[in-house]
Amino acid sequence: MKRLLVRSHPPLGHRPLRHRLRTAAAAATAAAALLLPVTLAQPAHAATTTCEPQGTIAAGDYTIQANEWNSTTQQCISYNGGTGWSIDTANFNLTTSGAPATYPSIFKGCHWGDCTPNSGLPIQISKLGSATSSWNTTQVGSGAYDVAYDLWINSTPTTTGQPDGTEIMIWLNSRGGVQPFGGKTGTSSAAGHSWDVWTGNQTSWKIVSYVLQGGGTSFSGLDVKALIDDAVSRGSVNAAHYLIDAEAGFEVWQGGQGLATNSFSFAASTGGGNPGGDTQAPSAPGGVTVAGTTASTASLSWSPSSDNVGVTGYDVYRGTQLAGSVTGTSFTDSGLAASTAYTYTVKARDAAGNVSAASAPVTATTAAGGGTNPPPAGGCTATYKVSNDWGSGFTADVTVTSGSSAIHGWKVGWTYGGSQRITNAWNATVTQSGASVSAVNAAYNGALGASASTSFGFQGTGSGAVPALTCTAS
């Protein structure tokens, strides 16, 4: 999408960003009519600013993220106290027939493994009892942008990469002729408002967008669950999947300066379909210990948590970053730097989506590097798929799959037959020399078990046929 401070994201590869094609509308800008205005007093607070493309600002139980992924134009966002923030510097100038330049937003939950405290998420859709939100915005009369929620739903309770379930967008307003992904497939009166409904399928997830008819500048007590239920009834959301993240911000193609969130809240809880109405969280895992380290791994173990119904799994955090999820009471974190200290905590979760408090932290220090790489094992294959192509540019995804044995790292290469140029990438370090491209795993997704897969993606200019790939494992 905590303490009141600015921190930089990990490198872009650690935080995959949405990459969707928008098309231009034939005509008019939606009216910026005021809908159910919210007036919340904000405490005085000195603004905290970040101009980093992937900078974040912690704001209590929320995180504000710059999330500039498709432009090099400077963008600066400022925290204004409470949950208020603004775009103070921006002058984007992209065509609305392509992807937006940026999506600065505020979020609660787990956004690609970066989790906010006290979010109540994840919650399985079938056990979602309520989800409500209020959002008050300041919108500007120039440029091309949308004002939209972005709810992410995944097939499992946690993920550090692209969610594979559904992306639900709720458009409060837009201007400049921008439209949601896909096509208009219906209308809805869910949550007491009138919506145009757009649907479409990306490479590995579905998108459904609810566009407020007439537009507005604020919601008060929006029944988000009613919209999620509507998406389930349309077949766009699987009720067995999990709501993991709720964001609200501005996708900007042109302009952007002056857009602001004055206040924002999001709250979700279990109930309704939750058997027995289980709202009791498991106990915090105890006895977390460092079982061993190498130059690139740290192994942890802990005592099992208890729960009134039953514990279904554990989430392991490296600092605030989700390192992985397991069903047992041990975990090995890989892809680490040698001679480096890492702090870990563990949380337990149950079938109702209740999450425990964090365990006491432990610190693991990796061993000094030995100067040699692990021996090759198993080999790998890679497949290339274009997810969007608008003639002058494209986005693509590459899936890397290990062979019959585990691997410690991978490298994928290919040669373009045309003039394609890669402009940015996520989940891998991608370099290009002429027509030749090389992609090397990120620190966190190089180690794969037997017959396991990971993926990376990128955006480029030009268009053309899918190239042949080579994959080398180490």
Residues 88-101: tens digit of each pLDDT: 999 999 999 889 99
Bridge-based pairing state of the strands 380-389 and 436-441: unpaired
Q: Would you say 105 and 95 are in contact if contact means Cβ atoms under 8 Å apart?
A: no
Question: Is residue 10 located within the same domain as residue 103?
Answer: yes
- Domain termination site, one of 275, 296, 328: 275
Question: Is residue 336 located within the same domain as residue 384?
Answer: no
Residues forming beta bridges with residue 124, ordered by sequence position: 242
Residue 372 placed within a domain: no
- Domain termination site, one of 334, 365, 396: 365
Residue 370 placed within a domain: no
CA angle 459, 464, 469 (to 5 degrees): 75
Mean pLDDT (whole number) for 255-262: 96
Mean pLDDT (whole number) for 235-242: 91
pLDDT at 101: 94
pLDDT at 252: 97
Coil, helix or strand for 276? helix
CATH of the domain at 430: 2.60.40.290
Q: How confident is the model at residue 264 (pLDDT cuts 50, 70, 90)?
A: very high
Q: Would you say 119 and 61 are in contact if contact means Cβ atoms under 8 Å apart?
A: yes
pLDDT at 370: 54
Question: Tens of pLDDT along 420-464?
Answer: 889 888 888 999 888 889 999 988 788 888 888 888 988 888 876
CATH of the domain at 296: 2.60.40.10
Largest distance between two CA atoms of the chain: 64
Q: How many domains does the chain have?
A: 3
Q: Would you say 399 and 453 are in contact if contact means Cβ atoms under 8 Å apart?
A: yes
Question: Is residue 305 located within the same domain as residue 271?
Answer: no
* Residue 68, token pair as written in the block: 């500039």
Question: Is residue 311 located within the same domain as residue 446?
Answer: no
Residue 371 placed within a domain: no
Question: Is residue 289 located within the same domain as residue 260?
Answer: no
Question: Is residue 385 located within the same domain as residue 246?
Answer: no
Question: Is residue 312 located within the same domain as residue 229?
Answer: no
pLDDT at 332: 87
Question: Is residue 325 located within the same domain as residue 283?
Answer: yes
CA distance 218 to 299: 47
Question: Is residue 130 located within the same domain as residue 204?
Answer: yes
Residue 354 placed within a domain: yes
Among 54, 244, 63, 216, which residue's Cα sits nearest to residue 146? 216
pLDDT at 214: 93
Residue 198 placed within a domain: yes
Question: Is residue 193 located within the same domain as residue 68?
Answer: yes
Bridge-based pairing state of the strands 469-473 and 410-415: antiparallel
pLDDT over 50 (residue 373):
no
Residue 233 placed within a domain: yes
E-strand stretches of 112-154: 114-115, 123-124, 128-138, 144-154
Residue 1 placed within a domain: no
Question: Is residue 224 located within the same domain as residue 127?
Answer: yes
CATH of the domain at 107: 2.60.120.180
Question: Is residue 177 located within the same domain as residue 308?
Answer: no
Structural domain boundaries enclosing 311: 279-365
- Domain termination site, one of 245, 275, 305: 275
Residue 373 placed within a domain: no
Quick one: what percent of the chain has pLDDT higher than 70?
86
Residues forming beta bridges with residue 455, ordered by sequence position: 399
